[in-house]
Amino acid sequence: MDAFSHLMGGFGVALSPQNLLFVFLGVLIGTVIGMLPGLGPISAISLMIPVAFTMDPVSAIIMLSGVYYGAIFGGSTSSILLNAPGVAGTVATSFDGYPLARKGQAGKALSIAAIASFIGGTVGVIGLMLVAPSLSSLTVSFGPAEYFALMVLGLTAVVSLSGGNVTKGLISGTVGVMIALVGIDSQTSVLRFTFGHEELYEGVEFLIVALGVFALAEVFAMLTRRGQGAQTGAISSLRLNKREVKEISGPTGRGSVLGFFVGVLPGAGATVASFLSYSLEKRLAKDGKTFGKGNIKGVAAPESANNSAAVGSFVPLMTLGVPGSGTTAVLLGALLVLGVQPGPLLMTEQPDMFWGVVASMYIGNVVLLILNLPLIPLFAKVLKTPQALLLPLVVVFCVVGVYGQSFSTFDLWLLIGFGVLGFLMRANDFPAAPLILGVILGGLMEKSMRQALLISSGDLSTFVTKPISAVLLALAAVSLLAPVFGQLRRRRRGRALPQDDGAGQDDPDEQGAKVDANVTRP
């Protein structure tokens, strides 16, 4: 097989002592930076770019790629331990990861995240190796209409992220979309909702919203609880038993495949993949109701998807020279400076480069697993930090993460504002997850819709006459209506069997992912 011999050549490149060292360095730095709340792959790569420019191009790219997927790999740590996601792709991981940690199962959650990340990453690399050239046609088949449909499908996850109260979930999601509208409108260059602040011209950075409504709001909530629910739980339960392994194998496998294909689409990437995977698993699972309260499948699904998507995003980068995300745009910039022009000819003109990077990813993923697993008990100990120390630390990390991105004190006020908003939402049982989903998907949805309508000269039928778009919209409709039918059916059954009334709507335990995170334990 041709790909096989190329891959062997690639391993020849990647296994040279020098490149091995750079893979190791790359993933180490990436995973460490990724673990810090507020710092994600972009920060990690940018930090390493000046170093990379002094290196041989192949080694430099091997290292920078390592930094990238290393940061995604490590990104779940702060989501799980502190409810402070540093990257959009790991937001979904915090939905179940953080409740698990609060139940004293941080070790388990981190192990699952590491294993799912490893599998997702590896599946992604296999995909990249086998089908990358043919996948570029999938990449280009997504135009504005198709993206719009994909974003609509993504937003239907609001229903499954709303916990018990769909109305409050929808309100929360709508506010999220509204936040996404702030800034210079990309289609007309008109300023919207900026109130004369230059800082708002490019919109509200996702990270500020996420750190505000998740991490900071959690800090406020803990303060009002006055230390109740402080961590004492055992964190020794690092190992998974057979049943658990079996339980997560399905979500991890599906998440990996789904993640790769979504990752291949520029603009969609790890975030959409992780949300889609999470909400898919929640629907498929028999114990879907316990999602958001610390279900291990809720960690495995998004983690496998986001790592696989991170690798998938190399497909448009390498085969078309098109960056699919902010991170790959930075990576592309670095490649150009190093004299590598990614594009359709990269694989034939510089096979060493392409296959060397692919092979290094296999190695990098193994290294990440080996690096991360032994450190988990150590990380989990973070939770043993007395609250009087932990809470200020979380605040410091949030502030550093936000300020380090923009050097703007305005953004810090925004952070506090969103913290308060998150706290108030939580106090009134509004789930925060739909809000964040709205912020992430809303902007892209609006932009694609308007691009599509511009191209079709305002003809709305463009969304249903294009096959991919039509299928995605149909899926969205099904996923919106399915729970309604399900409820009707249950209600009918409920009438027959009055004792079975826990279904859906009124279950107080289902009031959103975060609210019930503070269940008191013995």
Partner 1 sequence: MSRSGPRAVRAAVAVGSAAVLLAACGGGGQQDAASGGDWKPTKPIEYVAPAGTGGGWDTLARTTARVLDESNLVDRPLRVVNKPGAGGAIGWSYVAKHQKDPHKLFVTSPPILLVPLAGASGQTYEDFTPIARLNSEPLAYVVKANSPYKTFGDLAKKLKASPKDVSVAGGSGPGSLDHVGLAGAVQAAGADASKVKYVPFDGGGEALTSLLGGHADAAVAGASEVQPLVRSGDLRVLAVSSKERSPILPETPSLTETGVDYAFDIWRGVMAPKDLSESQIAYYEKAYAEMVKQDSWKKASEKLGWTDAFMGSKEFGTFLDEQNKEYSEVLTSVGLKK
Q: How far is CA 356 from the centre of its chain?
A: 27
Our CA angle for 123, 124, 127, nearest 5°, is 90
Contacts to partner 1 from residues 42-101, by CB under 8 A: 42-43, 45-47, 49-50, 53
Nearer to partner 1, 386 or 404 (CB): 404
3-state SS class at 505: coil
Specify the residue, 18 or 341, whose C-beta has the smaller distance to partner 1.
341
Three-state DSSP at 51 gives helix
Asked if 351 interacts with partner 1 (CB under 8 A), we say no
Token pair recorded at residue 477: 């409709």
Could you give the CA distance from residue 264 to residue 255 in angstroms, rounded to a whole number?
14
Contact 485, 135 (CB under 8 A): no
Single residue of 70, 121, 233, 342 touching partner 1 by CB under 8 A:
342
Least distance in angstroms from the C-beta of 172 to partner 1: 25
Question: Please, what's the b/e burial string for 28-41 (b: 16 or more CB within 10 A of its CB; e: otherwise)?
Answer: bbbbbbbbbbbbbb
Nearer to partner 1 (CB atom), residue 197 or residue 495? 197
Among 1, 2, 4, 189, binds partner 1 (CB under 8 A): 189
By three-state DSSP, how is residue 101 classified? helix
Near partner 1 by CB under 8 A: residue from 3, 15, 320, 366: 320
CB 405, min distance to partner 1, A: 4
CA–chain centroid gap for 384, Å, is: 26
Lookup: tokens for 108: 């388990």
Sign of the CA dihedral with 77 first, then 83, 84, and 88 last: positive
The yes or no reply on residue 451 touching partner 1 (CB under 8 A) is yes
Please tell me the distance from the alpha carbon of residue 391 to that of residue 125, in angstroms, as a whole number.
Answer: 38
Q: Do 301 and 114 contact (CB within 8 A), yes or no?
A: no
Binds partner 1 (CB under 8 A): choice among 333, 377, 483, 494: 333
CA angle in degrees (0–180, nearest 5) for 21-116-315: 65
Where in 246-305 is the site for partner 1 (CB under 8 A)?
266-267
Cα separation, 192 vs 266, whole angstroms: 26
**b/e for 47-74, b at 16 or more Cβ within 10 A?**
ebbeebeebebbbbbbbbbbbbbbbbbb
Question: Does position 386 bind partner 1 by CB under 8 A?
Answer: no
Instruction: State yes or no: residue 191 binds partner 1 (CB under 8 A).
Output: yes
DSSP state of 510: G
CB of residue 494 vs partner 1: minimum separation in angstroms? 48
Minimal distance, residue 263 CB to partner 1, in Å? 15
The answer to whether 38 touches 402, Cβ cutoff 8 Å, is: yes
394-423 footprint of partner 1 as x/- string (CB under 8 A): ----------xxxxx---------------
Q: Where are the alpha helices (DSSP H) in 36-105?
A: 41-52, 57-82, 91-100
Site for partner 1 (CB under 8 A): how many residues?
A: 63
Stretch that binds partner 1, among 220-228, 254-262, 344-352, 415-423 (CB under 8 A): 344-352
Site string for partner 1, 148-187 (x = CB under 8 A): ------------------------------------x-xx
Contact range with partner 1 by CB under 8 A, out of 94-102, 253-261, 340-348, 422-430: 340-348
* Smallest distance from partner 1 to CB 454, Å: 5
Helix 467-496 and helix 144-155, axial crossing angle in degrees, nearest 10: 20
Applying CB under 8 A, the span of 20-28, 279-287, 447-455, 474-482 interacting with partner 1 comes to: 447-455
Q: Which of residues 133-152 bind partner 1 (CB under 8 A)?
A: 139-145
481 sits near partner 1 (criterion: CB under 8 A):
no
Asked if 331 is part of the footprint of partner 1 (rule: CB under 8 A), the reply reads yes
Among 321, 351, 377, 483, binds partner 1 (CB under 8 A): 321
The rounded radius of gyration (Å) of the Cα atoms in the chain is 22
Q: Which is closer to partner 1, CB of 39 or CB of 159?
A: 39
- Regarding 205 and contact with partner 1 (CB under 8 A), the answer is yes
Residues 210, 79: contact at Cβ < 8 Å? no
Q: What residue ranges bind partner 1 (CB under 8 A)?
A: 33, 39, 42-43, 45-47, 49-50, 53, 139-145, 184, 186-189, 191, 198-199, 201-202, 205, 266-267, 316, 320-323, 326-327, 329-334, 336-339, 341-346, 404-408, 447, 451, 454-455, 457
